[in-house]
Structure 1
Amino acid sequence: MKPDLPTRTRTAGLLLALLSALTLALFWPASGYDFVKLDDDQYICLNPHVLTGLAPDNLRWAFTTIYQNWWLPLLWISYMADTQWFGPEPFGYHLTNILLHTVTAALLFWFLFRSTGSRWRSLFAAACFAIHPLRVESVAWISERKDVLSGLFFCLALLAHVRQAERPSAIRLGLVHLWMLLGLMSKSILVILPPLLLLLDYWPLARAGDPGRRTTWPRWRRLLLEKSGLFVLALVFIALNLHTHHSTLVNRDGTTWLQRLGLIFPNYWDYLAKIAWPAKLSVIYPPRDLVNWPLSLVAVTALVAVTLLLLRHRQKCPYAPVGWLWFLVALGPVIRGIRFDDMLAYADRYTYLPSIGLGIALVWGAGDLISLRPKLKTPVIAAGLALLAAWGIRSRLQLPYWKESFTTFSELIDFAPDHFAANSAYGFALLEKGRVEEALVYFARAAEIKPKNTQAPADYADALLRLGRNDEAIAWLQQALAERDPNCPVLNSLLAFAWLDVGRADLAILPLRKALAHQPRNLGWRIELIRALFETGHEPAAFEEIRSLQGEGYVGIRGFDDLIPHYVNWWSSGEKRHAWNFFQSALRTRPDHLGLLNTAAWLLATDSAPPAPPEEAVRLARRAVNLAPAPHPGLLDTLAAALAATGDIERAQQTARQALALARQGQDPALVARIQARLAVYRAGQPWRE
């Protein structure tokens, strides 16, 4: 005897809580992970709108801007909300991803239970979705918020559709449209929703009967009409994405539409294989765009054969063709050949919604097998639990690969050593670790893989500049500009930086102007141009640039002296060589500038690995002290730090005491406190470090 509805509902609620707890526990370690510099930097770390939270201007930007080729206002707003509530650290963004996926899995379970009445099958199907190893990328990668956020609205739309099927009304149908629209504003994959709802109308909702019978056609026409607004929404967002993503229209490398068609059918089997055997996972699977026509013919034949076989048995097993067609339809927009770029053949994240259909077909098929052969109940359930346990273990083992950029890209370069993005990304990961010499190898390899690409040689040149190998960087950049793109703004800006670092500001002006011709609002480049103009004696032109900046609302630069804090920031960000080159060049033309002398001396004295010896800090600090019209506590404080950096701790203490006495006379309590703190360090026999 079946339990009554309230009992079944209470049990379903407990199962929902169990599923949520398991999903949350499985992915919780990701809450402590860092950003991964693969889209996370562009989406969040370098996005001032996200980093300043839910301000009105930021909300306006989210709805009015196509950013990174996407119009996804709810995605950006969700990141802004994380910043507002949790701050700019990665924890909040990771936490939201985990919670969104957990809630999506719970809603999927509830939808399946509401539409089929089966608690245990719904639990197994939702668990297959929630813990499968291919979910790791969507949950642990902050930039894939698109999946978990759109998945939430997708499941809300499914539940709204169930209510619409139970008792149709304009309000309930409007809710389906609302959830779809919100989902599309999170990720355009929700264009798949209308045809999937038609599949659900066949099973499990049974709203129209078998479409193979002509008598059901009027009902199917009514269902199509019911979803006409959803189809219009889908078409609008398809058009929008074709507009913002030119790669879907452009045949790269001469690939014809017929060849693209030949890529589609084998790609479906690539996904099926990865879902069935989720080993050797990677964020990038290199594309193989040489069409193997015999393989394509076998692939399409097999897809058609499976589809016809399942359709033939639709009366006995309606869930089978529904689940299979769900997979085929939902994967369609991102299948290789329809989606076309030079980065990847397929992606774990693209299975987020398509895999639900396969899970439904698998679980309901297993349930029917148990019903037909009760003796198989124990082994089938045991096999299902073992499969879920294996997937959970595999997911947990995969999670640490997303801990931070270096672990992610180390795995990537091992998996795809000849892929452009793998070499470029791993080079950046090495740069972050300070392993610049090693990074050069991978940037050079990336430049070799894509001989027309301009970013790879720019990365290589940037690494050379970090190493102080400016002459090599200049030769490399001049060759890259000649062979790839003479007007490339990034290459021209780096060439200008290299000329500035070798003291040739006169040769830096032209490439800076070329770079700014393409990116006139790049503040960093404009400040470098102002510096170059000052260094070459073109002060009227420098002030003209400053007035131009002020006219655009930037008042941080009013004259030469305001360049000093700008290069202090460069130093603090790790670009010590470029900052030091500024101070060296500036001091050649302004040798008596107290601000330059004191700042340069302080930076050298308090850095654990300065680009010049501490004796140079002492020389600069003494010159500043001697040039000052009267003893100055700040200048003496710097000299004390410089002396301590050379190991002359006794004289450092003497000088610091002099600075302390002057600071007390000047009634500057903040400076007094700072000098006292440094004096305590000197007494311990240590230099002051910042």
Structure 2
Amino acid sequence: MKLKPSLQRGTWISIGLCVVLVAAVLALYAHTTGFRFVMFDDDNNIYLNPMICAPDLRFLTWMVTEASRMPRYLPLGWLGFSCVFAAGGLDPAWWHAANIGLHATNAVLAFAVFSRLLPRRAPAGSRADSAWRAWCAAAGAAFWALHPLRVESVAWASGQLYLHATAWALVSTLAFQIALERRRDGRPSFGSFLVSALACAASLFTYPLAFGLPVVLAIIALAMPNGGRSGEKPPLSRRRIFGLVAPHLVLAVAVLGMALAVRIGQVGLWKPVASTSSFGVGARLAQASYLVVRYLGLSVAPVGLTPADDLLQSFDPASALFVGSVVLALGLTAAAWFLRRRLPALGWLWLAYLALLTPFMGFLEHPYYPCDRYTYLPGLVLAAGVTLALGTIASSRGRVTALGATLVLVGVYSTLSYKQTAVWRDNHTLFGRIVQRARTERLRDYFEGRLAWSDALLGNTNGYAARIARLAAAHPGDSDLAAIRRRVATLDATPANAAEGLSPLARELQRMALEDAKSGRLFDAEQRLRYALSLSPTFSEARYNLAVILAQRGLPRDAVAQFLWAIAPRSGLVLANAQKTRMFGILATAFEAAGEPRWALACQHAKVR
């Protein structure tokens, strides 16, 4: 069916704005593909996780039963990591590119969700209505996507969990909105509601952060039961709305129970859940109020950002800062209630914001570290508020002025975001920022110890052992620094290895690769060896093992290149004749299988010699 000219124009405007939105995200974050992994959970989650591999039955079994490596249950999150590994191995560029792609996708999904939140005041399909809705939605999506609080989730490889989970949450919301629109038009809507419920489940099993999504969907059904149009059908009853969001609510409660069970039962790597005797109810409420106000303030003025803020390590709930936070949080809640008739959207937005932020209020954790990534999903509510605020403007002059001011603000945020990305370049920039912004000596010394430990793993001989010993001696009762010191004491970092530029991390990756090879996982072994060589290019033993694995994988030409590099005089690798004979035999077999008999014959001759 041919679209009306006005609809065609509105559609093309929406497509054009989405293209600009994606281009802006790519321009802002493209340079992060040159960033490295950081020892800020990337080691535990990705490159030192022996279970991160190309998807197979062994991995799928592990991902649905794993509940010890992280205090969360996230089978689809692990699957996302596995898919990136299958595409690009342990090359950090692939992991950062995947994050950029997910964030750009989320920006477009946010645009689609926001455009359906706006009331349709003009006649349906009119040119003014469709164009202005598109501009308002694009401004809100840009406000969210280019904000400095998004940097941590995008520029950090492990932040993919937040991006992936939010993508499913947005799909769930969009499908729910479409279902409401189909109901308005008298068309079947069961399929759309089913997609919404399944996407909600996918979000919760990717990373459990969208516990408040059922509340958000109920708000959408209450506030906009007819897809933004009023007067066409009676509003949905509360019982009907509960029925629509019941599947989402059941999923959220079930996953919340699983998450609590995993977190409470977690031992070893993560600190136990704070007891009520050590962290009382009043302190928890004061901390939650502070976090609500803090994240709201940073959304307006994103300055002084740090990946680890230690303000909540030890605090007095009766201090002016926390009492003021409680008063302000209660005041905002009261204002939203009293203005519910004049400004109903304000109350709905505030409720949605609190619902999505609840998992990040630290009710179970003490000490607690506020993080920028915790605003990735709740920040969408504030961006929706920007969209709705723009949508209330009726005059053309007012629209141009407000839209221009919003875009200027987005430009300022984009500049701040670009500067913030530099924090995540490598261990030195990341830990340096944390040390610079640390409020307590303990946190400063701990991350100085982490930095020294990362230098040790990478083979940087800059006195890391003495630095860690000094830090541990300054904090004799600190178990974290004592653990770092014990690791350094057992680290195999001989002068010969240091002289060759080898890193203990590269040797550990080679050990993991050989385990993979013994189990027949040759692709996984190849990727770990390639990452080891990116850390220590002169690691001749790893290069020789890579040559063997490449030949076994049917890539004899690549294997020859690696083998010749490994046995070159400058490499210092000494192979016994039996090893050389075995290698030439493997190469001959590989060339024969690849249909290259001349190369196979040459390898056979070299084997005889």
TM-score by length of 1: 0.64
Distance 1:406 1:670 in 2: 47
The answer to whether the 8 A contact 2:309-2:371 is kept is yes
Aligned to 1:242, which of 260, 272, 287? 260
Q: Does 1:187 align with 2:187?
A: no
Distance 2:18 2:151 in 1: 21
Q: Does 1:13 align with 2:31?
A: no
Aligned to 1:356, which of 376, 380, 389? 380
3-state SS of 1:418 partner: helix
Distance 1:70 1:60 in 2: 17
AA matched with 2:148: P
| CA deviation map 1:191-249 (0-9, x unaligned) | 11101111222334468999xxxxx9981122113222211111111111111112684
3-state SS of 2:51 partner: helix
Single out whichever of 61-70 and 325-334 deviates more from structure 2: 61-70
Q: Which residue of 2 aligns with 1:84?
A: 86
Distance 1:362 1:112, change over 3 A: closer
Distance 1:296 1:89 in 2: 44
The answer to whether the 8 A contact 2:455-2:461 is kept is yes
How far has the Cα of 1:139 moved from its partner? Answer: 0.6
| CA deviation map 1:525-550 (0-9, x unaligned) | xxxxxxxxxxxxxxxxxxxxxxxx9x
The answer to whether the 8 A contact 2:96-2:155 is kept is yes
Distance 1:671 1:149, change over 3 A: farther
Aligned to 1:104, which of 84, 106, 109? 106
How far has the Cα of 1:268 moved from its partner? Answer: 1.3
Aligned to 1:123, which of 120, 126, 138? 138
How far has the Cα of 1:126 moved from its partner? Answer: 0.6
Q: Which residue of 1 aligns with 2:327?
A: 301
Distance 2:404 2:108 in 1: 23
Aligned to 2:356, which of 318, 325, 330? 330
The answer to whether the 8 A contact 2:55-2:83 is kept is yes
Q: Does 1:291 align with 2:316?
A: yes
Q: Which residue of 2 aligns with 1:224?
A: 242
Distance 1:367 1:573 in 2: 56
Larger RCO, structures 1/2 (Cα 8 Å, 6+ apart):
2
The answer to whether the 8 A contact 2:273-2:366 is kept is no
How far has the Cα of 1:318 moved from its partner? Answer: 3.0
The answer to whether the 8 A contact 1:101-1:130 is kept is yes
Structure 1 spans left out of the alignment, 5+ residues: 211-215, 471-522, 525-548, 556-568, 577-601, 611-620, 622-631, 636-666, 673-690
The 5 A counterparts of 1:143-542 are: 143-168=158-183, 169-205=189-225, 219-246=237-264, 249-251=273-275, 254-288=278-312, 289-293=314-318, 294-336=320-362, 338-342=363-367, 344=369, 346-368=370-392, 370-371=393-394, 376-416=398-438, 418-419=442-443, 421-431=446-456, 432=458, 434-438=460-464, 440-442=466-468, 444-445=470-471, 448-449=474-475, 451-453=477-479, 455-464=480-489
Distance 1:428 1:607, change over 3 A: farther
Distance 1:263 1:446 in 2: 30
How far has the Cα of 1:347 moved from its partner? Answer: 0.6
Distance 1:554 1:399, change over 3 A: closer
TM-score by length of 2: 0.72
How far has the Cα of 1:142 moved from its partner? Answer: 0.9
Distance 1:16 1:181 in 2: 27
Distance 2:366 2:206 in 1: 21
Structure 2 spans left out of the alignment, 5+ residues: 121-132, 184-188, 265-270, 496-509, 521-531, 540-565, 580-603
Distance 1:175 1:7 in 2: 29
Distance 1:386 1:47, change over 3 A: same
AA matched with 2:88: F
Distance 1:554 1:49 in 2: 12
Distance 1:201 1:218 in 2: 7
Distance 1:312 1:375, change over 3 A: farther
Q: Which residue of 2 aligns with 1:62?
A: 63
Q: How many residues align?
A: 494
3-state SS of 1:279 partner: coil
3-state SS of 1:255 partner: coil
AA matched with 2:282: L
Q: Which residue of 2 aligns with 1:669?
A: 606
How far has the Cα of 1:147 moved from its partner? Answer: 0.8
Superposed CA RMSD: 4.0
| CA deviation map 1:608-651 (0-9, x unaligned) | 9x9xxxxxxxxxx9xxxxxxxxxx9899xxxxxxxxxxxxxxxx
Distance 2:6 2:272 in 1: 52
3-state SS of 1:278 partner: coil
The answer to whether the 8 A contact 2:102-2:167 is kept is yes
AA matched with 2:421: L
Distance 1:341 1:145, change over 3 A: farther
Distance 1:334 1:200, change over 3 A: same
AA matched with 1:415: R
The answer to whether the 8 A contact 1:436-1:463 is kept is no
Distance 1:248 1:316, change over 3 A: farther
Instruction: Indicate the percent of aligned positions where both proteins have the same amino acid.
Output: 23
The 5 A counterparts of 1:594-673 are: 669=606
AA matched with 1:382: G
Q: Which residue of 2 aligns with 1:516?
A: none
Distance 1:61 1:144 in 2: 21
AA matched with 2:154: V
AA matched with 1:263: Q
Distance 1:205 1:10, change over 3 A: farther
| CA deviation map 1:6-32 (0-9, x unaligned) | 322221122112111211221111122
How far has the Cα of 1:366 moved from its partner? Answer: 4.3
3-state SS of 2:209 partner: helix
The answer to whether the 8 A contact 1:38-1:425 is kept is no
